[in-house]
Structure 1
Amino acid sequence: MRCKGNPFSRRGFLAAGTLGGIGLSLPELLMRQAMAEQKHYDFVEAKAKSVIHVYLPGGMAQQESFDPKPYSPMEYRGEMRTIKTNTGEVVSETIPQLAKRADKFSVIRSMTHGEAAHERGTHNMFTGYKPSPALKYPSFGAVVSHEYGPRKNLPPYVCIPNVPNEFAGTGYLPSSYGGFALGSDPAQSNFKVRDLNLASGVDEQRFMRRKQALATVNNQFVSTSSADSVGAMNTFYERAYSLLDTPEAKLAFDIEKEDPKLRDKYGRNQAGQRLLMARRLVEAGTRLVTLTYGGWDMHNNITSSFKSTMPSLDVALSALLDDLSERGLLDETLVMVSSEFGRTPKINATAGRDHWPKVFSVMLAGGGIKGGMIYGASDSTASEPDQDPVSPADLACTMYRCLGIVADKELMAPGDRPIEIVDGGQLIEPLMV
């Protein structure tokens, strides 16, 4: 099923002149268009309330993770052995904990695009669009922030620990929809969220006086300027004050309040504490959390690199799935694990793998996605899709539908130019609940 589905879309409207023969006037056409759009956009059931987007920068190898090739020649399959999951599938030995929980997640083994450069591949996987010199597209988090706004005084879009790349921004949307960055790593012993506490020497009364004075100044600027940066700063200040004013919101960021045993279960490391923080935030009301972990650009010694990088992620993701499930949150939280591309089918001269966008894997769990499925397949050497290829637009379309957002809804770019949230793309219906 295509994300498309509005017969009175902007493109369909170009055929308006042909409707005169069946007796539709322009006002009648416009009324029908409005009714169709209202139905099309407003009545999509949301399975997910939140998204945790785990991004693995550099390009994670599919062969050493979710799509091993045990029957291919050694120079293709690599040195890793395989293990069986609790659903009977085969995955790399690098993810033993996830293998025990394969019934809780699904894997797309046929992701594909044509961008072998890190920046362009990252753009694809954060926006659902191919890069364009003519327009900057908004990231998933910015779109969700634009469509839904804050919930329970929590920022709708949060980045852990920082905004991960230039394509995780707002694109053509106002900058007020940008991600709230923690500014430091929750794995650090002295972790504090940047700007979330009152400055030293500032009591509540002084804080309120500053807030009132700033509001007066901001109102003057907003009334005399239409600049996006002015409005954005005003919005950021308002949201920051909401956090400072709301103990429950501040508490969500205080990872020290978490049960020490649960912190240990996730792992006292970057992967563990970032994922635990993400769970705290979606539980408290954040709509989309983007976090990064590791460096997966393994051109050299891929076996040893995986053995040092993957165990923490394997443990942390497994703990997250257990934790969300036990709290009754997995069905309403979509977990997406992605990377900008995969790695070459053949091991290179330095015992690593190079960039390969033709086929790679993405993991999905919860929030409207079935568990225990493998969707699509790569060929015998993980060179290209063998069946059911999935594009970044397909993935984005499916993610948005799980959130109740219709991906072909049009947002306004500069110059009153209507741009679809995703251009094209098909729902990956076999994966959807």
Structure 2
Amino acid sequence: MYRCPGNQLSRRGFLAAGALGGVGLSLADLLMVQEARADQKSYDFIEAKAKSVIHIFLPGGLAQQESFDPKPYSPLEYRGEMGTTKTNTGEVFSETLKEVSKRADKFAVIRSMTHGEAAHERGTHNMFTGYKPSPALKYPSFGSVVSHEYGPRKNLPPYVCIPNMPNEFAGSGYLSSSYGPFSLGADPKNDNFKVRDLDLAGGVDMERFARRKSALETVNSRFTSMTSADNVGAMSTFYERAYSLLDSPDARKAFDISAEDGKLRDRYGRNEAGQRMLMARRLVESGVRLVTLTYGGWDMHQGITASIKRSMPPLDVALATLMDDLSDRGMLDETLVMVSSEFGRTPKINKDAGRDHWAKVFSVMLAGGGIKGGTVYGSSNAIASEPEENPVSPADLATTVYHQLGIVADKELMAPGDRPIEIVDGGQVIKGILA
């Protein structure tokens, strides 16, 4: 597996205020805004390598030693009980990543992620926003920034969470709540899976729906014109997007996982990991810009070996299948897949045969969307207690994700009180993982 040296990119002086951040817009308005913003960015252009993102978040804190950064030569109390498996590029991962290891040429692993937040909420905030938590300001998530910068595509919400918004930091932060995620409200692994609010009520046909929509717009128009409150504007935007989904059979079809071939569903796995990843692929293929999904619980303070052996195999199979599926469809080059967690686990096994919270070093995986496959970036030391080479911060990771999407990470958006805030403050593009 190719190992790359550290690289730095100087920050760009790009000042463009997101003045529409607090305004609820119709779909037509959003599309016009995107055209205007495309023109605005022409003088500081970043070529987008990725059209969409699938963010697979593993809540609880995935152990680096039992996943992408095993330490087979360290003492037993540090390396743990699990063995390793060799990748198709000559590296070693944990023994439970057998299928993913066969596809190591398709992705990059960062083994030197680091921050100082060992509490779940604070670590999660870092990994969803690229910022340290602040009592003064609530920062927007990746999905909400992408929604703000690019808006809807093909009548689909720009930002979707599977099955629900996973935490409070996955929302729109200081941006208008209209840039928040659309949540499925149900798990696609369920046999009776159905996305909430996508079907007309019983006895209501499209003609009756159109009459109701017109009546509601008439009632709301005067009320909306009398206030600029964010929640009123946001609700208007939500209605417009809901109307777009109901009016578009193609958009509604994107959420119909039952339309997938049964054999492919079996390959992914008829479980949470498999069906959530398959749904994510359907959504980005149909036009959703960023999908966030969660799987499992990785806060393994006790019996980590048994817990990993139970939770990792479905993830291993589903993630390997997702990469194959995207590649087979010609989508991997334009879809950035990111696997992250809020932090890692302690270097030493505790008295309960588990590992505790550890934010000083952990691993993240990135595939597709202009990422150089077969790459390991950075390293941890012999006992996985801290970075040894090329430490990577959440701001660096966020800046790199935005860079691949064609978003200038130090562009300023407007927080309440007309306060300009950079999308990411101080991050550097991780050039060594880019193709």
How high is the TM-score relative to the length of structure 1? 0.92
Whether contact under 8 Å (2:88, 2:102) holds in the other structure is: yes
The 2-side partners of 1:372 and 1:265 are apart by 24
The aligned residue for residue 245 of structure 1 is: 247
The aligned residue for residue 29 of structure 1 is: none
Whether contact under 8 Å (1:3, 1:425) holds in the other structure is: no
Q: Does 1:6 align with 2:8?
A: no
The 1-side partners of 2:194 and 2:383 are apart by 46
Shift of 1:83: 1.1
Percent identity between matched residues is 76
1:108 is matched by which residue type in structure 2? I
Question: Among 177, 182, 185, which residue is 2:184 paired with?
Answer: 182
Shift of 1:170: 0.3
Whether contact under 8 Å (2:15, 2:412) holds in the other structure is: no
The 1-side partners of 2:221 and 2:136 are apart by 33
Which residues of 2 match residues 387-398 of structure 1 at below 5 A?
Answer: 387-398=389-400
Shift of 1:218: 2.5
Q: Unpaired segments of 5 or more residues in structure 2?
A: 1-7, 18-39
1:154 is matched by which residue type in structure 2? L
The 2-side partners of 1:341 and 1:206 are apart by 51
User: Alpha-carbon deviations, 1:156-206, whole Å to 9, x = none?
Assistant: 000000000000000000000000000000000110001000111211221
The aligned residue for residue 31 of structure 2 is: none
Are the structure 2 counterparts of residues 54 and 303 from structure 1 closer, same or farther at C-alpha, using a change threshold of 3 Å?
same
The aligned residue for residue 420 of structure 1 is: 422
Which residues of 2 match residues 288-367 of structure 1 at below 5 A?
Answer: 288-367=290-369
The aligned residue for residue 280 of structure 1 is: 282
Q: Does 1:114 align with 2:116?
A: yes
Shift of 1:38: 4.8
The 1-side partners of 2:356 and 2:50 are apart by 35
How high is the TM-score relative to the length of structure 2? 0.92
SS at match of 1:218: helix
Shift of 1:9: 9.2
Whether contact under 8 Å (1:6, 1:40) holds in the other structure is: no
Question: Among 235, 239, 260, which residue is 1:258 paired with?
Answer: 260
The aligned residue for residue 228 of structure 1 is: 230
SS at match of 2:233: helix
Shift of 1:39: 5.3
The aligned residue for residue 401 of structure 1 is: 403
Whether contact under 8 Å (1:253, 1:277) holds in the other structure is: yes
1:150 is matched by which residue type in structure 2? P
Deviation >2 Å, runs of 4+: 7-10, 37-41
Shift of 1:215: 1.4
SS at match of 1:70: coil
Q: Unpaired segments of 5 or more residues in structure 1?
A: 11-36
Shift of 1:217: 2.2
The 2-side partners of 1:180 and 1:298 are apart by 30
Whether contact under 8 Å (1:3, 1:424) holds in the other structure is: no
Shift of 1:7: 7.8
Whether contact under 8 Å (2:340, 2:364) holds in the other structure is: yes
Are the structure 2 counterparts of residues 402 and 158 from structure 1 closer, same or farther at C-alpha, using a change threshold of 3 Å?
same
Shift of 1:40: 5.4
Whether contact under 8 Å (1:2, 1:424) holds in the other structure is: no
Root-mean-square deviation over aligned CA pairs: 1.2
The aligned residue for residue 69 of structure 1 is: 71
User: Alpha-carbon deviations, 1:4-32, whole Å to 9, x = none?
Assistant: 1228899xxxxxxxxxxxxxxxxxxxxxx
Shift of 1:221: 2.1
Whether contact under 8 Å (1:3, 1:397) holds in the other structure is: no
